[in-house]
Structure 1
Amino acid sequence: MNFWANPLFLIIWLVIGLIPVADAQQQSRPLPAVAEKTKAIVEAVHAFVNVHSNDMSTVQHALQTHPDFFDRDKNLYVFMHCYNIEKKEAICCGQAVRPELIGKNMWHLRTPNGRLLFYEIARMIEKEGQGWIQYDWLNPYTNTLQTKCSYLKGIVLKDGRKAWVGCGFWQKK
């Protein structure tokens, strides 16, 4: 039997053959402007923390005041956590909007739908070093639950602790 003459085989071959093309097109699609800005903020903070992580009070001050580290018009702000998977720790070590969270272990904090977000982030950073994650979170600007899409990047601080810096944008409902 000639497989090429069989219409079912031809359809399956075309579908399987086109899937990688669709994936490649999706991966090469540019990020929306707010996502590009979010990623640029994380990259800028990452470079700053890499130089100044021996003085976390300077880092915290910069997270709240440096104009390259936030975008008030788009409600973009930076957060930073030191983590240790074995100890089940995700200690907030930098927060631009809610500095009262600094020093708190947020490892066991769950999203409204039950996800252990900080565990997920730590695993992603361990495996990939950086990446995007989407989750539901309380928007501190509107005090409403919204979907947030955050870009995070891992870093090792000068004192040897593992950490990530992140920034996210709020998706419109």
Structure 2
Amino acid sequence: MLKFLQSMVMALLIGASAAAGAADEVERGTADEAVALVKKAIAFYKANGRDKLAAEINNRTPQFREKDLYLFMSPYAGGSVIAHGANAKLVGKSLGDLRDVDGVNFVQKFREIAASKEGKGWVDYKWPNAKTGALESKSTYVERVDDLYIACGTYKAK
């Protein structure tokens, strides 16, 4: 499983060289917008439930996408991705051992934040930009709701 995920990340990185020039043209979401999108998803979850939120995220509906921002959702105690607004291939996959190019186990950090007393916070790592394919520094806001975390990250300009 880990080799599959690493291969997928590498494929995205290979495509990044062709998209590198487009990276500057993408309108970037801000940290405040990422937090607001997570809060909006939590409100939707509380009103409509897990399955409806997962469907909205997985179907990439405009209400949960803004600029280069998208949501993802997983159980914080471990398990498979329930919803991912940028890559449907990640849904149903367990990403607990996934590391970025610098060896950061960012999924484990997501879980640690969600399991913490406060249940929310930020994680920094590197990830391919969903709009351009370019590998970029990313900061993701994670917030726990029930047994899940819902997250949204911002790509940092070079």
| Higher radius of gyration, 1 or 2 | 1
**2-side partners of 1:61 and 1:48: how far apart?**
12
- Runs of 4+ in structure 1 displaced over 6 angstroms? none
**2-side partners of 1:75 and 1:98: how far apart?**
13
Superposed, 1:1-173 pairs within 5 Å as 34-54=30-50, 56=51, 58-63=52-57, 64-71=59-66, 74-84=67-77, 89-127=78-116, 128-156=118-146, 162-173=147-158
**2-side partners of 1:168 and 1:124: how far apart?**
14
Ranked by relative contact order (alpha carbons within 8 Å, sequence separation 6 or more), the top structure is 2
Following superposition, the deviation at residue 105 of structure 1 comes to 0.3
Runs of at least 5 residues in structure 2 that lack an aligned partner in the other structure: 1-28
TM-score (norm 1): 0.68
**2-side partners of 1:115 and 1:65: how far apart?**
27
Following superposition, the deviation at residue 49 of structure 1 comes to 1.5
The count of residues paired between Structure 1 and Structure 2 equals 128
**2-side partners of 1:83 and 1:91: how far apart?**
10
**2-side partners of 1:66 and 1:48: how far apart?**
13
Runs of at least 5 residues in structure 1 that lack an aligned partner in the other structure: 1-32, 157-161
What is the root-mean-square deviation of aligned Cα atoms in Å? 1.7
Q: What percentage of aligned pairs have identical amino acids?
A: 26
Are the structure 2 counterparts of residues 118 and 65 from structure 1 closer, same or farther at C-alpha, using a change threshold of 3 Å? closer
Structure 2 residue matching 1:114: 3-state secondary structure: coil
Give the partner amino acid of 1:67: P
